[in-house]
Structure 1
């Protein structure tokens, strides 16, 4: 885990979530705070996630079986 002086690593994927080295606390617009102790946390940017602000892969295109 990075120390207080080391920057957090953030990976931005235009086709997916923002990946942040955890643990993280996310301050939401309604004043609540979402927390995750995971090693890497996927933050939803498409707002389709049922687990918002965390990504649940809802951004992926659905492929139907023929």
Structure 2
């Protein structure tokens, strides 16, 4: 499977790269709405590696 995403972010490249590739940063911004949060994230940027995040409803109803 191949997934491509194009986004324009008004911030320094190094800050954007860190936000998209550091699990702790991903957990801060990756949410469908204020009712959801990311409870886990992992990043393996090698070819064939994986990008994984787990999102859950804050009230425990989903996830």
Query: TM-score, length-normalised on structure 2?
Result: 0.21
More strand by share: 1
Larger Rg: 1
Query: TM-score, length-normalised on structure 1?
Result: 0.21
